[in-house]
Structure formats: structure tokens, C-alpha cells
């Protein structure tokens, strides 16, 4: 497959950052030692994959599997999963015992329901695992070019790759395994890699090969290639690698900059060659692939407790039955000679051994009363949750048109938990904000440019407009606003008052929202300080590491940058007329457009050195030589860092720039300062020699030496100006936060940004507001070097927490609101065992909490603290790999499918495209799912208690004989056929109120966190209802049919007739009960509820028409015996009414004298009062909001209180 390629002639020898510096060969040989021992035993024979197909160097193929089962393990593992449930173990034992003589039922009636339930659940598991298998198969069958020998490459499936194979990966393709980079399409052997799937970062990483392997640049060069790699064993560390390459009789040390990891993507590079080091599950990405923690909802955990209670009841009544049978055997059995009680072979009812007979009967009773435990409960709930998840996935109101992404319930086990959330812990960048940087404002030579408003400024303008509107409207308008204090009505007015410019904010240029006629369209040439303005634009266009790509459709360049900020700077420079257009071997080309010249001027800047940005340095510098030979240092970085490095004559614009930076910070913008320095050639050469020495040094202090030499250069700078970019809020974030706050939810923000940025975003999304008292806990001005100083810092943090808690306790203003803001260093101490509970108590007392500069681990620890410390349901939401920890730690994890990759989504339980969809996910779907599942489970226990206890009553009535009053096929059909579909319809379609009402009345959501529909009072109420129904069904039937004539000929009812009538009453009672419990009917529910009753009669007709050898006593029972008897129909009607009357009376009393919120709304809707009486509707809406101190509504209410106070003071002064 040898083919010619045009190789890009781009060398970056002078551009390598500190981590990418190339020591020379001599240094590599001296440094090429590898630790010996466990963990460093891997040996890879390059270009010899056959060696690794047999021992001792046999390594796994590149096949990966994320499935839980395979063909051999599915049956045993799936059965094990099913019988981990206590209820299923009970039914399995009952099914086994049904094969013995102690069973009161036939084996079929016990085994068939268990087989159906377990089979359906296993089928669901099989389908889900099959889907995972299909996904794995797609990945395993991807193709990549592999060296077959003699310089010939051909395409193979990923799964067939072996350790030692040489592969060629092309642009925009994923790496199939962990590779050692040998060469690339660039002459210097560099390549650009996107690691979004690994760490969530969208910026590109630079990788580079060893210089010794650069000649391996074509297919034919691999004909005789061989070498040996000795390296670390497979591990999960993405950012480290230890190893060396033995090649051409020399040893070369390897580091992470030469390693290409599986699932990262090759970008902006035509192709690379690499040798496979790790395959399959040995690769680092698969080593990091941990199973998601097993999460169970609060309702499901409580359901287990109910099962245990019913088990206890089952054992209790079985013991009563067993004792009763033993007593009867001892005293009454000798008189019943026809049973042959003294037969030696008879052990079940031997008067001489009553205890043994009672023990045998205990087993019979445990089987007989097993219908107290709903066998189909688990499978019904799983089926219902599966259908609920489909409705969530297909909700068009949570569909994002821009990305074409729907909401996705990645697990259906936690649907009802969505309706019980108490605290939301949210990431900021990419979650509350768009992760899209827009160049908005700048300061050049002490002059501020940019007229567009940020999100924070717009929010402030809205608030000012609200104040003006209230002042002009007076007290009468105050009452009008109070009635409509939900901001929907007021906000419509505000949007017309504030400014029409907000509508003009939409721009077609991504990353550039700047507007100022002084700089646009070349007008900057008429500004004073023209030299500084040109230099400012040149710094934007030259000081970066981006790669330009020509968009053939528009004719303009787009940029692959290492950060969104850098991309925004390049777009801004392009729009100002300084278009970065080309990067060559050691230079960049900028196309400068000056309107006075007409034609663009191309200027080439030779790149001498690049000192890259790191989180420690907080700055980036590039040393260039322009076309006139002038050497310049161009620098951009954090203002605090740049200002400390200014020369005395470089501070001309410092005061004005500082003032502008403060204004930009108040507006929620991210800022950087720009500076430069002119260099003499001799000065540069002297520094370059020192830099080269530091670069070639050997030992662990190389980084420190490089940093010191860089500091020598990056000083005595001249300030040029500053930039301000906006990390835009996602659409609808303030409104969503306001609605969630009205629903009574607490919202914490956990971000890696600095405190100032986080506070600004807090203001823009109304988590913070003017008048809110901020409690800032930090370690500023505190040293942490020695152990004593660390203890002093710890004591200081504890004192800050204690004082803040005391301040809140002493606050007497009921409307006072506190916001807790803490940085990562302080949080490190606050999360220690001796302080974390005090910190949590303080945080819970605050209206909003913002944690800044937190690490991914700290995010997870904070989430765990809130979850375990409060004992309430937590929800974590984020979009990046750094959010995975808290997403997995929280009770519910929500991932946003944003610009930071899919790591958060893959680890989440639910995924949405925008933060604003969280409002509907919780307030609508969460509310519905919680009430549906709660009602469904309560009803399940009700119907099984009502049915199961009738068996106990009859057995006691029949002398504890162990005889069932029902036919075996009746028992088989009860849970599986006749009552399963109505309860599923309840769990899928029930709505107490519509989705619009859920959003209009957010306080309805609190029914979930307060657990109003699944607390013990309601559970025992439903159980009591079941006991009451069972008593009425059994005793009313016994009273009616005990000695009364049943047929026209005067015969009384036999056991089969009474059993069938009782079963008919049960079917009618439980189905009418579920109809009463439903608030929302569709034709599906009608069909399933009434259809189940019809199915019972159809079953009786069909079953009775079978041969008597099959149907037994039920032969033609309905047609010939029951249907012609008026008593049958009369008893059915009377018992059904009697069973449902208690529930009907209770719900009627509650609606009349103690209605819940949704009861009131239902009646308003039913009588159309929401249309006819808008005042009532508005009043009820104002009631249906939780008192909150965050959100837009809280801000408006605070302003109204302030206005009211002013009016009262004014009136008192007049009087």
C-alpha cells in the first residue's frame, strides 16, 4: 500500500514547551534507566507481533467488551442477579416445595408465575446487554492500517491488532490502542491529539516522536524495523508513562509526550506511524473504565422494608395456622377416623406427633399465604420505569435543536428519585455557562473599548428598570406586582423597558460579540495611541499556539486552539484586520489589512522561542523577530502576574487599565493583560544560551532551572492593554434557577474558576444578589509551609466557620440572606473530619453556596458530605471529565452533552443538552414519576393483602386444613394477568396535574422531598385498606352463601362456587380501587382497567369449557351455576361498593376539609376557574411557591420590600 505523500515542512524545535523539550541523545542514554521489579515488567518487540501470541510474552488481543454477560455466563449470572432478591428466593423455595406433598397448590401454579417474572426480567437484562454488545462490536470492527511485513500495510479490524504491531493512523481517526509515536506527516514528528474522550478537554495536545525514529516516515521504511520497548505494566494513569526504547543498539527514555492513548483522536495531522504497546483492556482508557456505582432510589429501599414487614406478617399467620393445625391434630383428628390418622405412613396429621404435623403444616402455610408478597412487583416496576424512561427520552420540550440532542434516561432505576431531590450541586463552566468565549471588550493604552453588555450587566439593567417601574407606578402598582410576584408577567414588561439592544446581541461570528465603531472597519487608524493599538492586535494574532484552517465556504480562517479564550482572541484579531493565516517551519504569517493601503499586507514573524501557559505560570510568552529584524517578547497572562513584571516606564496605562479590569470583573468577564518588551540581539543571544543550558540539563531540577531562566526574560515589560471575554450563560439558566428555587431546591455551585469569576456568574444567574451577605472563607495571606503553619491555617479556617455560623444565628432580620463562598484551599481543611460537620451546618444555613478552585476529588467529597450529612437526596450536574466523581457520588447524576466531551454523560444516570432542561426533568417528570411509582407500590401491596388474607381466613374457617378456596389457575392468573396491566397503566400514565401546571406551581414538587405519598402513614393506610377489603370480601360472602339457597333448585353453594364468587369480588374491588386512585384517564387506562374485569369473565368461560379433567370443579361453573343466580351479581356489586367505600369516604373528607395542593388545582381546573376567575388563579399561583432567598423572584421581592419600607418612612415623615 506504499504511496507518496506530501509532507508538511513544519518544524517546532524552538516551540516545545517545558514538558516537551527534547534532551539530546547523550542525555537520553544516561537517563535511560528503568525501575526494576513489579510494575515495570512489560517487554514489547516492535514489528514482531507473533512473539506476543505465545508465552512468556503473550498479551491480550485488542478486543474489548463492556457487556455484563456472554453466552456461557448469561444463564448463571443472570439467575444469580435475580435470586439476590429475598422475595425471589422465597418464591423459588415455594416452587420447589410445590413438588412435594405438603404443597397446597399444584406445581404449575407456583412455578409458572416465578418463571414468567424471572424470565421477563432476564429478557430485559439480555436486551440491554445485547445493545452493549452491538456498541462493542462497532468499535472492535473499526479498521486501521497495519504493517503485514516487507513494508506492506493493509487494513485490519481493531480487535485483530496485537502488541508489537506497527499501525498507521490517519487524520480525524481514533487511535485503536496505546501507541508509541514513531513519526508523523510533519518533519519534526509532531502531531496534534484531541483527548476529549479521555479527560473532557477540547483543546489539542501536542505529541512528538523521538528524533531517532523520524526516518521511519514511509511504509517501505518499516521493512527491516525492529526494536524493544521496556516499560511499565498496564495502569490507569493517563498522564504518566515510564519506559525506554532499545533501538539501533542505543537506549532512549520514553515519556508521556510520545504516547498516543486509545480513544483520543488525531487532529490537524495527515497521518502518524506508531507501534502498539497496550491492547484491549490493558489500555489506559479501559483501565480507567470503572463500573458505575450501584444506585438505588429511596422508594426502592423503603419498599424492601415493606417486603420485610409482609414477610414477618406471613411468618406470623403461618405460625398461627401451624399451631392451630397442631392443636386440631392432637385433639380433633382421632375422631375423624375416615382420614386414617393412625396410618404409620401418614406423618402430615398424626395425632401421636402433633408437633411434627404442625411443622409440616408450617411449610404448607408459608406456601399458601405467599400471595401476600407480590411476585410480579419487581418486574412490573422495572417495566413501568422502562416506559417512563421512553417518555423522558421522547419529550420534545427537552430537545435541543442546535445540537440535535434529546434528553436520555441512561438508567431507569432512579426515575422516581428525580421527584425527591433536595440539593443540586452544579458545575459552572459548560453547565451554567456555554463554554463559549466571546470577545466582548478591551482596554488599549488606557482607553476602554466595547459597547456591548454582558449577561451580568443585562441582569443589573433589568433590576434597575424594575426599580424605576416600581417608583413611577407607586403603591397601587406595588399591590399589582405583589399579586403577580412570579416574574413571568413583570418580566414581559421589563424586556420592553430595558433596552432593545439585547435582541441585537445575536451575532453570526462565533467568538466575537464586540461592538465599537472606534475600532471596527479600520477606524482604529484614527484613534490616538495608534502604535499601542497595532501592537495590541499583533499580540493577539501572534502570541498563541493555534493552527489555522481555511474555511472554503466562507474564505476565512478558523482556528484549532488550545483553549476557547485563545480562539476568541484570534477571531477578534481577524475581525480587527490582523488575520493569522499561516504557520510555517518556524514562523507565523499575519495578513494585516489597512484600509488606506487597499490591499492586505502579509507580515511574517519568525518564532524564536515559545514559553507556554501553565496553571502555575499563569502567563504565556512568545519571542519573535519581525521583518525589520527587531526581536520582541510578546506576553499575555493574568493581570496580577503581568503587573508585577512591568518596568518602571511600562506602567503608563496601569491605573486606567486596572480600573477597566475591575469593571470587567464586575460584569462577569474573564480578563487577561497584554504586554511586550523590545530585545537587543545581544541580550537575546545571552539569554538563549542560558535557556539552552537549562534545557539540556540532566536531573530533577531541570523544570526549576527552566522556570528561573524564563523569569529572567519575562520582566521589565511594557503594558499595552487588557482583554475581556465572556463565558456566556446558557439560555434560560436564570429562569431555571429561579423556578428550581421556588420549588424549594437548594443549589450549590462547585467550580474550578477563581472566586471573582464565580461570584460574577453567581450574580448573573441570580444565585447572588445585592443585599445578600457574603461569607467568604479563604486562606488568603496565610502561609502553609510548615506543620505548625498548617495547624494555624486550620485553626483560622475553623474560626471563620464558627464566626460565620454565630453571625447567622444572631441575625434577627427574617429576610436576611447569606451566601457562602469558599475556595479550594480552605475547603481542603473544611472537609477534614474535625470540621466538616460544622462546615456543612453553616452551608445548610446559607441561601446559596459557591465553592471555588475545587478539584474533581473535592467535588466528589463535597457531594458525599451533603448526601451523608443531610440524609437527603442530592443531584449533581456537570459536563466534563472533572465532574465524573461528583456525578457518580450523588444520588442522581445528570450529564450535559456539551463541548467538553462525553465523559460526564457516560457516567451519568440522565443526560440533557442544556441546564434549563433540568427544570422540566425535575418539576414535571420527577414529580410524575415519584407519585406514579409511590401509588403503584402502595396499590400493589393493597391488592395482594386484600387477596392473600382471604386465604388465611378460609383456612382458619376450615379448621386450618391447608385447603385453598381458589382454583390453582385463578391463583396463577391473579398477579400475572388479571391485575398487572391496570397497575402498569397507573405507573405510566397517571398525572395529578398537567405538565404546564407543574411548571406554574413549582411548590407541588415538594410533595416528593417531603415523601408525602410514600411515608409510613400512607403505606400503613393502604395496608389497612387491604385488610379491611379482605375482611369484607370473605365474611360478606360467607354470610351470604353459608346456608342460603344459591340455585333455583335450592342447592347451597359449594367451595368452588364460593371461591369463584370471592375471586370475582376481589377482581372488581381492586380494579375499581385503582380507578378511584387515578386522577388522569386516557382510553388506554379505561381499556386496561375494565378490560381486566372482562378478561376474568372471559377466562371463566374458556376455562370452564375445557374438559373436566382439566377444569375440575370449575367446569361450566359460570354458564350453568353462577351467571343464572342473581345472588352472584348482587353479591359482587354489594361487596365491591363495601370495599371501596372507606377509601372513597377518606378521600372525600380530605378534599373537603384538608385538601393537598394538587386537590385544589384539580378542582379549579375542573370548574374552569383558571379561565373564569384569573384573580383566584393568580392567588393560588402566588401561594404555590416556596419561600426562597435566591433566584430572580427573590431579587424582585427584596426590591419590593425595600420600596415598601421607603414608602412607609415617607408616609410617617408626612404624618
Q: Which amino acids are annotated catalytic?
A: 427
Q: Is 47 exposed, middle or buried (0-12, 13-18, 19+ CB in 10 A)?
A: middle
Q: Are 752 and 879 in contact (CB under 8 A)?
A: no
Beta strand pairing call for 587-592 and 601-611: antiparallel
CA angle 335, 336, 338 (to 5 degrees): 135
For 157, 606, 759, 834, 872, the CA distances from 851, given in Å and listed in that order, are 46, 44, 10, 19, 20
CA angle 850, 855, 859 (to 5 degrees): 55
What is the Cα–Cα distance from 872 to 887, expressed in whole angstroms? 16
DSSP H or E stretch at residue 166: strand 166-170
What is the Cα–Cα distance from 1137 to 1151, expressed in whole angstroms? 20
Whats the size of the chain, residue-wise? 1215
CA dihedral (806, 807, 808, 810) positive or negative: positive
For 172, 185, 188, 216, the CA distances from 6, given in Å and listed in that order, are 18, 8, 14, 15
Q: Is 790 exposed, middle or buried (0-12, 13-18, 19+ CB in 10 A)?
A: middle
Cell 392432637 -> residue: 330
What is the Cα–Cα distance from 206 to 1177, expressed in whole angstroms? 61
Cell 378521600 -> residue: 1147
Q: Is the peptide bond before 56 cis (omega within 30 degrees of 0)?
A: yes
What is the Cα–Cα distance from 920 to 900, expressed in whole angstroms? 23
Bridge partners (DSSP) of residue 879 are: none
Bridge partners (DSSP) of residue 146 are: 154, 167
Cell of 548: 489555522
What is the Cα–Cα distance from 1128 to 1044, expressed in whole angstroms? 12
* CA 356 to centroid of chain Cα atoms: 57
**Sheet of strand 42-46, all strands in order from the earlier edge strand to the far edge:** 42-46, 227-231, 243-247, 250-254
DSSP code string of 643-676: HTTB-GGG-TTHHHHHHHHHHHHHTT-EEEEEEE
Task: Cite the DSSP H helix spans in 144-297.
Answer: 196-199, 284-287
What is the Cα–Cα distance from 1060 to 165, expressed in whole angstroms? 74
Return the closest-CA partner of residue 733 out of 431, 505, 465: 431
Bridge partners (DSSP) of residue 444 are: 447, 721
Within a 10 A sphere around the Cβ of 6, how many other Cβ atoms? Answer: 7
Amino acid at each position: 500500500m506504499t504511496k507518496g505523500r506530501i509532507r508538511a515542512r513544519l518544524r517546532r524545535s524552538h516551540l516545545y514547551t517545558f514538558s516537551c523539550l527534547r534532551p539530546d541523545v547523550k542525555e537520553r542514554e544516561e537517563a535511560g534507566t528503568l525501575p526494576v521489579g513489579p510494575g515495570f515488567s512489560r517487554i514489547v518487540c516492535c514489528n514482531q507481533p507473533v512473539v506476543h501470541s505465545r508465552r512468556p510474552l503473550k498479551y491480550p488481543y485488542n478486543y474489548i467488551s463492556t457487556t455484563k454477560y456472554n453466552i456461557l455466563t448469561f444463564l448463571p449470572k443472570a439467575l444469580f442477579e435475580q435470586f439476590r432478591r429475598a422475595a425471589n428466593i422465597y418464591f423459588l423455595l415455594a416452587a420447589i416445595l410445590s413438588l412435594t406433598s405438603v404443597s397446597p397448590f399444584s406445581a404449575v401454579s407456583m412455578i409458572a408465575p416465578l418463571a414468567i417474572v424471572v424470565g421477563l426480567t432476564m429478557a430485559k437484562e439480555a436486551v440491554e446487554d445485547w445493545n452493549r454488545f452491538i456498541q462493542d462490536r462497532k468499535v472492535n470492527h473499526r479498521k486501521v492500517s497495519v504493517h503485514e511485513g516487507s513494508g506492506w500495510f493493509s487494513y485490519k479490524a481493531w480487535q485483530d491488532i496485537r502488541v508489537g504491531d506497527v499501525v498507521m493512523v490517519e487524520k480525524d481517526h481514533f487511535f485503536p490502542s496505546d501507541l508509541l509515536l514513531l513519526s508523523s506527516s510533519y518533519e519534526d514528528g509532531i502531531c496534534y491529539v484531541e483527548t476529549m474522550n479521555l479527560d473532557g478537554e477540547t483543546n489539542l495536545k501536542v505529541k512528538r516522536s523521538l528524533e531517532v525514529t523520524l526516518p521511519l516516515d514511509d511504509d517501505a521504511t518499516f521493512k527491516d524495523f525492529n526494536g524493544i520497548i521496556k516499560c511499565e505494566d498496564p495502569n490507569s494513569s493517563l498522564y504518566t508513562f515510564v519506559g525506554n526504547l532499545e533501538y539501533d543498539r542505543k537506549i532512549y527514555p520514553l515519556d508521556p509526550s510520545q504516547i498516543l492513548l486509545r480513544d483520543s483522536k488525531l487532529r490537524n495531522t495527515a497521518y502518524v506511524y506508531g507501534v502498539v504497546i497496550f491492547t484491549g483492556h490493558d489500555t489506559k482508557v479501559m483501565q480507567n473504565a470503572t463500573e458505575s456505582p450501584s444506585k438505588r432510589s429511596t422508594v426502592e429501599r423503603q419498599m424492601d422494608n415493606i417486603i420485610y414487614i409482609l414477610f414477618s406478617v406471613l411468618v406470623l399467620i403461618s405460625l398461627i395456622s401451624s399451631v392451630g393445625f397442631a392443636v386440631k391434630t392432637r385433639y380433633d383428628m382421632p375422631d375423624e377416623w375416615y382420614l386414617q390418622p393412625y396410618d404409620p405412613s401418614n406423618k402430615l396429621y398424626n395425632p401421636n406427633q402433633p408437633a411434627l404435623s404442625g411443622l409440616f403444616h408450617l411449610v404448607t402455610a408459608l406456601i399458601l399465604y405467599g400471595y401476600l408478597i407480590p411476585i410480579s412487583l419487581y418486574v412490573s416496576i422495572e417495566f413501568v420505569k422502562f416506559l417512563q424512561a421512553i417518555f423522558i427520552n421522547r419529550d420534545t420540550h427537552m430537545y435541543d435543536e442546535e445540537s440535535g440532542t434529546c434528553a436520555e434516561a441512561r438508567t431507569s432505576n432512579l426515575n422516581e428519585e428525580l421527584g425527591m431531590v433536595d440539593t443540586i450541586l452544579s458545575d459552572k463552566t459548560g453547565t451554567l455557562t456555554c463554554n463559549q468565549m466571546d470577545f466582548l471588550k478591551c482596554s488599549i493604552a488606557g482607553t476602554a473599548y466595547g459597547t456591548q453588555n454582558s449577561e451580568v450587566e443585562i441582569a443589573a439593567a433589568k433590576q434597575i428598570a424594575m426599580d424605576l417601574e416600581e417608583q413611577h407606578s407607586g403603591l397601587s402598582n406595588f399591590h399589582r406586582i405583589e399579586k403577580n410576584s412570579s416574574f413571568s408577567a413583570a418580566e414581559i414588561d421589563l424586556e420592553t423597558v430595558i433596552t432593545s439592544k439585547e435582541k441585537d446581541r445575536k451575532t453570526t461570528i462565533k467568538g466575537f460579540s464586540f461592538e465599537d465603531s472606534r475600532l471596527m472597519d479600520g477606524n482604529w487608524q484614527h484613534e490616538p495611541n495608534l502604535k499601542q493599538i497595532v501592537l495590541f492586535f499583533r499580540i493577539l494574532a501572534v502570541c498563541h499556539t493555534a493552527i489555522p484552517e481555511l474555511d472554503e465556504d466562507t474564505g476565512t480562517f478558523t482556528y484549532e486552539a488550545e483553549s476557547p479564550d485563545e480562539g476568541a482572541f484570534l477571531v477578534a484579531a481577524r475581525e480587527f484586520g490582523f488575520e493569522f493565516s499561516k504557520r510555517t517551519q518556524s514562523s507565523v504569517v499575519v495578513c494585516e489589512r489597512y484600509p488606506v493601503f487597499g490591499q492586505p499586507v502579509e507580515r511574517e514573524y519568525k518564532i524564536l522561542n515559545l514559553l507556554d501557559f501553565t496553571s502555575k505560570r499563569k502567563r504565556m510568552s512568545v519571542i519573535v523577530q519581525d521583518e525589520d529584524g527587531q526581536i520582541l517578547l510578546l506576553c499575555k497572562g493574568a493581570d496580577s502576574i503581568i503587573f508585577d513584571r512591568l518596568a518602571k516606564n511600562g506602567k503608563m496605562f496601569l491605573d486606567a487599565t486596572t480600573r477597566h479590569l475591575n469593571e470587567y470583573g464586575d460584569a462577569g468577564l474573564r480578563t487577561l493583560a497584554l504586554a511586550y518588551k523590545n530585545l537587543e540581539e545581544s541580550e537575546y543571544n545571552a539569554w538563549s544560551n542560558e535557556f539552552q543550558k537549562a534545557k539540556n540539563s540532566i536531573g530533577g531540577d531541570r523544570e526549576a532551572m527552566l522556570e528561573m531562566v524564563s523569569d529572567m526574560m519575562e520582566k521589565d515589560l511594557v503594558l499595552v492593554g487588557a482583554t475581556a471575554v465572556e463565558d456566556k450563560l446558557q439560555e434560560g439558566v436564570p429562569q431555571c434557577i429561579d423556578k428550581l428555587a421556588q420549588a424549594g431546591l437548594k443549589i450549590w455551585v462547585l467550580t474550578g474558576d477563581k472566586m471573582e469569576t464565580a461570584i460574577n456568574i453567581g450574580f448573573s444567574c441570580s444565585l447572588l444578589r445585592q443585599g445578600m451577605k457574603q461569607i467568604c472563607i479563604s486562606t488568603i495571606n496565610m502561609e502553609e509551609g510548615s506543620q505548625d503553619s498548617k495547624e494555624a491555617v486550620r485553626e483560622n479556617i475553623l474560626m471563620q466557620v464558627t464566626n460565620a455560623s454565630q453571625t447567622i444565628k444572631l441575625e434577627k432580620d427574617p429576610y436576611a440572606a447569606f451566601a457562602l463562598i469558599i475556595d479550594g484551599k480552605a475547603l481542603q481543611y473544611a472537609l477534614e473530619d474535625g470540621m466538616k460537620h460544622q462546615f456543612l451546618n453553616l452551608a445548610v444555613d446559607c441561601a446559596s453556596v459557591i465553592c471555588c478552585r475545587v478539584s474533581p476529588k473535592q467535588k466528589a467529597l463535597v457531594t458525599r458530605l451533603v448526601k451523608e450529612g443531610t440524609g437527603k437526596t442530592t443531584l449533581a450536574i456537570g459536563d466534563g471529565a472533572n465532574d465524573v466523581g461528583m456525578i457518580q457520588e450523588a444520588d442522581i447524576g445528570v450529564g450535559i452533552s456539551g463541548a467538553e466531551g462525553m465523559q460526564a454523560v457516560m457516567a451519568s444516570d440522565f443526560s440533557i443538552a442544556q441546564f434549563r432542561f433540568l427544570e422540566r426533568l425535575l418539576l414535571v417528570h420527577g414529580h410524575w414519576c415519584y407519585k406514579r411509582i409511590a401509588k403503584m407500590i402502595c396499590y400493589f401491596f393493597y391488592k395482594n393483602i386484600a387477596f392473600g388474607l382471604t386465604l388465611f381466613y378460609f383456612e382458619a374457617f376450615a379448621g386450618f386444613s391447608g385447603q385453598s378456596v381458589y382454583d390453582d389457575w385463578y391463583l396463577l392468573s391473579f398477579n400475572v394477568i388479571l391485575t398487572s396491566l391496570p397497575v402498569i397503566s397507573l405507573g405510566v400514565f397517571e398525572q395529578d396535574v398537567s405538565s404546564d401546571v407543574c411548571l406554574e406551581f413549582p411548590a407541588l414538587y415538594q410533595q416528593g422531598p417531603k415523601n408525602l405519598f410514600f411515608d409510613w402513614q400512607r403505606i400503613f393506610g393502604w395496608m389497612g385498606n387491604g385488610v379491611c377489603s379482605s375482611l369484607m370480601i370473605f365474611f360478606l360472602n360467607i354470610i351470604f352463601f353459608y346456608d342460603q339457597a344459591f340455585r333455583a333448585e335450592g342447592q347451597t353453594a359449594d367451595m368452588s362456587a364460593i371461591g369463584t364468587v370471592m375471586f370475582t369480588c376481589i377482581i372488581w374491588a381492586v380494579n375499581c380501587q385503582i380507578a378511584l386512585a387515578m386522577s388522569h384517564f386516557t382510553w388506554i387506562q379505561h381499556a386496561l382497567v375494565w378490560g381486566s374485569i372482562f378478561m376474568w369473565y372471559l377466562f371463566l368461560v374458556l376455562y370452564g369449557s375445557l374438559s373436566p379433567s382439566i377444569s375440575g370443579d370449575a367446569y361450566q361453573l359460570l354458564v350453568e351455576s353462577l351467571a343464572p343466580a342473581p345472588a352472584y351479581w348482587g353479591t359482587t356489586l354489594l361487596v365491591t361498593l363495601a370495599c371501596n367505600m372507606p377509601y372513597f369516604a377518606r378521600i372525600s373528607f380530605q378534599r373537603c376539609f384538608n385538601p393537598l395542593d394538587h386537590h385544589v388545582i384539580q378542582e379549579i381546573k375542573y370548574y374552569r376557574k383558571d379561565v373564569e376567575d384569573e384573580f383566584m388563579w393568580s392567588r393560588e399561583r402566588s401561594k404555590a411557591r416556596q419561600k426562597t432567598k435566591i433566584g430572580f423572584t427573590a431579587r424582585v421581592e427584596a426590591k419590593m420590600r425595600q420600596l415598601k419600607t421607603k414608602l412607609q418612612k415617607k408616609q410617617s415623615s408626612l404624618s
